[in-house]
Amino acid sequence: MKKDSNDYVIRVLDSPLKVNAAEWNSLLAAQSPGEAANPFMRHEYLAALHESGSATPQTGWTPRFVTLWKGNTLAGACALYLKEHSYGEYVFDHAWANAYQQHGLPYYPKAVAAVPFTPVPGARLLARSPAERALLVKAIVAWCTEEELSSLHLLFTADEDVAACNEAGLMLRHTVQFHWTGPPGGYRDFDGFLMSLSQEKRKKIRQERRKVAEAGITFRWSMGKDISDADWDFFYRCYERTYYEHGNAPYLSRDFFQRMQDTMPENWLLFVAEHNADGRRRPIATSLIAVSADTTWAGGQFDAQNQRRVAYGRYWGALARVDCLHFEACYYQPLQWCIEHGYQRFEGGAQGEHKMARALLPVKTTSAHWLAHPAFADAVERFLEREGASIENYMEDLERRSPFKAPPPNK
């Protein structure tokens, strides 16, 4: 515990479970509307990562949740982790770690403010005012200095965080994701969406969807408490197998998804691909989508009128190989669902230039970084200037390759 000069008290806690869930979620709800609806910053999500053993000291994520108190009111909070590696972050600093090692300096442990394994932009510095957000980031940097950590990294930050970090002197780094955004008023239907694309892209999507349909694959979806226990089990079987096929153990345990089913069912949408053969339907693949939803719902029923209309592509897996099945399960089915249900944005996750052909456009995301070592901080700052220029050029190149129809020339 440490008292700030403005009578704020800083407490650093070694578990998300030591933060009252209602107080954390109340603080999250006080953020700007887009950030308040982010399901990945809910206490239930962060607690599930910890309690399920998915993000713990044993997996390289040691929680140090920084909280800022004004009397008995939680005025600010940050989900901070000490890391002994750089896996599960999606903002890559392996070159920085190697440079430290080459000079005989320790890079780990470092401090990371992020949602483990979840490259979704959102608020990292929860605060009730800009002044308290500024105070929170300064307190975090001071704590990292006292702990003699090499560095602090706030990943996939919200605009308010970027402003506070920039004011505090942190270095900003940009990466590119691919998001789909519907027009004002939405599309009439999926065909209406396709008609907004260039002929080449429209033809390609129809061909890919036709291949899946001709292979005898159909889809069904369920949401919230309508997702059955059997479907959750089947989803995890697919998810786990896909990780192992790529030579890795899955980041998230079955217990984590059980906790999602138990504590945040309203935030999940599941697509199941079924193969129709000999009059029988056999499930062969799944795609699990997160949705931002209002957290107040009566009688355990999801209130579709109160949701924040953003969907997030998250997890997928398959037990059989079918040409173009991944595109159908992870892009076309979710996009069709978003159009039919009035969702305005679908975030496709980290990396993946191929997503542009599916009408997910480039979006610049931002992280903020502080390095304790002055010489390395100077070197990284110069690197980020060069990298930033490259990102701008890359964005301009991507924008020239838009899959949408070119607007008519001005008369």
What are 194-220's pLDDT values in tens digits? Answer: 999 999 999 999 999 999 999 999 999
User: What's the Cα-to-Cα distance from 135 to each of 29, 81, 112, 254, 294, rounded to whole Å?
Assistant: 19, 19, 18, 38, 29
The pLDDT of residue 28: 97
At 249-274, the pLDDT tens digits run 999 999 999 999 999 999 999 999 99
Q: Roughly what angle, to the nearest 10 degrees, separates helices 43-51 and 21-29?
A: 140
- Phi/psi of residue 31, nearest 5 degrees: -80, 175
Mean pLDDT score across all residues of the chain: 92
Domains of the chain plus CATH, in order, are 2-178+364-400 (3.40.630.30), 183-343 (3.40.630.30)
C-alpha–C-alpha distance, residues 65 and 162, integer Å: 19
Single out the residue of 389, 366, 391, 378 nearest to residue 99, CA to CA: 378
Helix-then-strand count for the chain, H and E:
13, 16
At 309-368, the pLDDT tens digits run 899 999 999 999 999 999 999 999 999 999 999 999 999 877 788 899 999 999 999 999
- Read off the DSSP letter of residue 268: E
The pLDDT of residue 308: 58
* Pairing between β-strand 126-127 and β-strand 73-78 as defined by DSSP bridges: antiparallel
CB 123 within 8 A of CB 154: no
Q: Find the mean pLDDT for residues 296-309.
A: 43
Beta-carbon count within 10 A of 96 CB: 21
Band of residue 294 on the pLDDT scale cut at 50, 70, 90: low
Q: Find the mean pLDDT for residues 128-143.
A: 97
The pLDDT of residue 38: 94
